[in-house]
Each structure stands twice: as C-alpha cells, then as structure tokens.
Structure 1
Amino acid sequence: MSDPSVSVIVPSLDEAQNLEAVLPRIPAQYELIVVEGARFHRTTSLVQRLRPDAHVVEQTRYGKGNAMACGFAAASGDVLVMFDADGSADAAEIPRFVSAIADGAMFAKGTRSRGGGSDDITQLRRAGNLGLTLLTNILFGVRYSDLCYGFNALHRDLLPVLDLPDPHPVDGGPKWGDGFEIETLINVRVAVAGVPVREVPSHERRRLHGVSNLNAWRDGRRVLSTLLRERRRAGANLAASDPLRRADVPLAVRGQHPMP
C-alpha cells in the first residue's frame, strides 16, 4: 500500500487536561477522531479550540472498547491508529505503525518489549501482562511479546474480521468487548484470523495528569476471561468451518509471521 490515508482514534474519558498537550502533537495530515466519554460533554469545545479539523464522536455506551468501536465507525482512513488520550503514547511513533501497515501487515501491534519500554508500568502490571501474554501465546499459537498495550494500528479491511460489538445495538446494553479487554479481544481475533502482524517497538510514557481508570486486578481478570471465552469461540468457529480459518488463509502470526 503506497501513501495510505490515516485516521487516529483517541478515546477520552474526562481527559480534558491531557488533551491540551496530546492533540497538538498529532500530525495535521492525519484524520483525528476524538471519542468523547459518556457524560463528559466538555470535550467538544476543547477539541474545536485545539484542533478545529478534528471530529468529535460521543460514544454510545461505556468503556474503552465501545469508544474504540465508535471511533472506528466514524473514521475514513485506510490505517486506523489506536491512540490513548493520557499522554502515554508518543505521536512521533505513529509513522512506524503506518509504515508497518503500508509494508503489508494488517495489524501493527505496539510492544513495550523487543526494543520498546515503559516509564509507567508497575511491577504488578508487568508480571500480570507477562503471564497473560504467555498464556495467549500458548492458547493461540502466537509469539506476542506484549498483550496489554493500547497503542496499535490496523488496516480498515480488518474490521469485519474483528467482529467488534456493534456501537449502535438495538437494546443499547453493555457488551463484552466494551471495556479494557478491547486490546486482548483484537489481538486474539487477529491471531485466529491468521492475518499478517508486525510488532512495532514503542516507549510508553507516564500519564500526564489524573489517575488511570485501569485496575490491575479487575481488568486482569477481565482479560483472562476474554482469553478463555475467545479460545472457546475459536474452537466453535473452527468446528463450524468458519471461513476465517479456512485452509487457504496463511496463519501469518504463527511460525513464519513477520514479527521481529
């Protein structure tokens, strides 16, 4: 893919103070989608002041997963970049992710290992992430190095394969995948689909202001539940001859995948 169009999706739940620093750093040539968390309606005027070219979308339910699904639905780019609003992601790294997609990957997976790093992760979260990453590799036959990291990019053609919860369901109730487990859900469904994956080294900074909504124990359990649910789902789909697992689709994330 040569010179792909890029959309950067920024989910924001009461991150106004951080957006002041984050939004001006995102390159103007990228489409910018800011997803406003439910109940926080001060984002629109702030974004209009900081980046008049940006689009503000209000999420339809609660949770980061729902915010990302709403952002994906509103974006028009060939490459969709998942970018946190707390200042932990470095906008200067976005071209690395875009380049990975342009070079043939369907999913560019950020990693704080294998050349990356973190100024923010605690020892508890590091240990939990390592254990969950190893379990993912065992259950799904992949070689991921960092499961629980939110800085990623994907080709928009991958969206139907991911089958994320509809941001506009009839009943409007909470769905599995609406929370912090969204990164795990995407990583696992990418692995099951067998599309080309490239890990991109990334350095996570400390959040600029405020306190993270992430809870290591609660969200760790939710990630673990996601892995077990997705393993059962993958088995059921395979038994039903799911076309995403048909024999002519190379399992690019296994064995000979392009990860470093």
Structure 2
Amino acid sequence: MPTVDRVLPTETGTEQTTVEPPARPDPEPDPEPIVSVVVPALNEARNLPHVFARLPQVDEVILVDGGSTDDTVAVARKLRPDIRVVTQNRRGKGNALACGFAACTGDIIVMIDADGSTDPGEIPSFVAALRGGADFAKGSRFRPGGGSADITRLRRAGNRMLSILVNVLFGTRYSDLCYGYNAFWSCHLDVFDLDSTSPAPAGADGRLWGDGFEIETLLNLRAARARLVIEEVSSFEHDRIHGVSNLNAFTDGIRVLRTIAREWPRGRKRESRQLAGRSAR
C-alpha cells in the first residue's frame, strides 16, 4: 500500500488523498575507467623488474619493443603474463608510442618510460586529473612537488626557453615542455594524428617526422592546438637505473625547435580555415 502524504479538501467537499511518489534510487557511481599503460622499450631487460614492481593496479600493459637484442620481451612476459607485446614498425620513441597507442583498448592511456626515470606509482595522480575534468594530463618536473634527479643544467635551460617560446606562440602555460610522462582519454587519440602504419622510409634514418624524441613536444602542441583541457601534474624524474640514455641535448633540442616551427603555422592555417568556414555558415 502506498503511503498517504496528506488530505486535501476539494470543491465538492470530499476528501482527496495525495500519494508521495516512490523515492528514486541513488544514482550509480560512474564506472571506473579502463586504464592502459604504454611502455616503449629497447634493451631494458634489467630495468623492467623495478618498473613493473612500481606499477599500481591497471587494466592493460602494452610493451612496445623496438627490436631489443637482450631479454626485454622474455623478462616482460615473465613479470606480467598478461602483458601485450607490440613490435614497432619503424624506429624511435615517437613511433613506439604511436604503435602502442593504436593497440590500446582502455579509456585512459598513460605513457611511461622503461628505464625507471618515470615513476609508475604516480599513475593514480594522472588518472585523478583526467577524472577531475582534464582531457590531457601533462607531467611537470617544475611544479611544486615535482623535480628531477636526471636533468642537466643545459637541458633545464633549453627546456625553459622552449617552454617560454611555446607559451607565447600557442597561448599555453606549460612549465615543462619536454617531459614524456603524460596521460589522456583515448577518445582524443585522433587529435594527435600519429602514424602507426606507414613503413620506414628509405634512407639511413628510417624515421618519419614525430618518430623521435620530439614526440613529447608534438603531443603537447597538438593538445593545445585542439583546445583540449590540459592539467599539469607534479612528477619527479629519477635517474635511469641501468644503461645509457639515447637522448642528445643538442640534436634532440634542434628537433624540438623544428617541431615548434612546423606545428605553429600549421595550427594557424587550420584555425583560419575553421573561422572562415564559420563565417560562411
């Protein structure tokens, strides 16, 4: 029997009851997003035990092998039997990430390094930023709570100058342009326009533009140009555990500068076409 709320008089003098509608059930909480972690690796067998031990609970781990000659793949499969291994089709970190992103099935994609420099234990902070409303969560070593045990004075100065340049040209507020610890909603993957299918071009380099370390800057610039909601997340960069980094401060700095030059006029032309189209409509 329904509960009678109150009795109201009517014009005929009879009584009319009103029934309180049944209470609505509390809304169900949003389901937990599926988190995919992409780990580019080239001869990182000795570093993977440390990296995987620091991984929090995630739904999918994709190791992108760059043609390792050590036991990188075997070690990864031993440590995580559920891991998915992808072989990149060209060379360079950028191509590895493009191939890994294309293989992801999660709602959120996180990119970390296999050398132990990026701390997998920080992944929940990136996921929280995305769940809080960001489209793109960008790691920063230069926000309060962040830092680096690896960056040299030369790289720090170069990064600062490049960050200022990008902030002026693109209207951003980046504090750390050249850092590769990022996460984003997979629905925005098309914004980055990465090539994961074309074969390696002829020549000694065997890479397309974006296949190298310039990928980190490329992602940041295209996220800004697409007007994604970007939130910086404090992050601490550790020393590489074993091996030697393939990063070269001078040559990779030049590639970053060329990336800024290439992306800025392209973005302006695209925005001009969009404005012209809106005016015509």
TM-score, normalised by the number of residues in structure 1: 0.89
**2:167 is aligned with what amino acid?**
N
Q: Using the alignment, how far apart are the partners of 2:108 and 2:154 within structure 1?
A: 33
How far the C-alpha of 1:124 sits from its partner, in A, is 0.5
Q: Paired residue for 2:240, among 193, 207, 211? A: 207
Deviation of 1:197 (Å)? 0.7
Task: Give the C-alpha shift of residue 23 in structure 1.
Answer: 1.6
**Aligned match of 2:93 in 64, 87, 97?**
64
* Aligned position for 1:155: 185
Residue 4 (structure 1) aligned with residue 33 (structure 2): yes
Matches within 5 A, 1:155-234: 155-164=185-194, 166-169=195-198, 171-173=199-201, 174-234=207-267
Does the aligned pair in 1 maintain the 2:37–2:62 contact within 8 Å? yes
- Alpha-carbon distance between aligned partners in 1 of 2:262 and 2:118, rounded to the nearest angstrom: 29
Q: Percent identity?
A: 54
1:35 to 39, 57, 64: 64
Deviates more, 1:15-24 or 1:66-75: 15-24
1:39/1:50 Cα in 2 relative to 1: closer, same or farther (>3 Å)? closer
- Asked if structure 1 preserves the Cα contact closer than 8 Å seen for 2:42 and 2:72, the reply is no
In the TM superposition, residue 10 of structure 1 has moved relative to its aligned partner by 0.5
SS in 2 for 1:17: coil
Q: State the Cα distance separating 1:185 from its structure 2 match.
A: 0.4
Of structures 1 and 2, the larger Rg is shown by 2
Contact preservation (8 Å) 1:3, 1:102:
no
Using the size of structure 2 for normalisation, the TM-score is 0.83
- Helix, strand or coil for the counterpart of 2:47? helix
Are 2:179 and 1:146 equivalent residues in the alignment?
Answer: no
Provide Cα deviations, 1:151-170, integer angstroms capped at 9, x if missing partner. Answer: 11011011111111x2111x
Match of 1:190, as an amino acid? A
CA deviations 1:22-70 (Å, max 9, x no partner) are 1222124331111001354732211111111111111110000000000
Q: Quick check: 2:36–2:58 contact (8 Å CA) kept in 1?
A: no
User: Which letter does structure 1 place at the counterpart of 2:128?
Assistant: S
Within 2, Cα distance between the matches of 1:2 and 1:105? 17
RMSD in angstroms over aligned alpha carbons? 1.8
User: Is contact 1:66–1:167 with CA below 8 Å preserved after alignment?
Assistant: yes
Residues 2, 102 of structure 1: 8 Å contact kept: no
2:142 match: 113
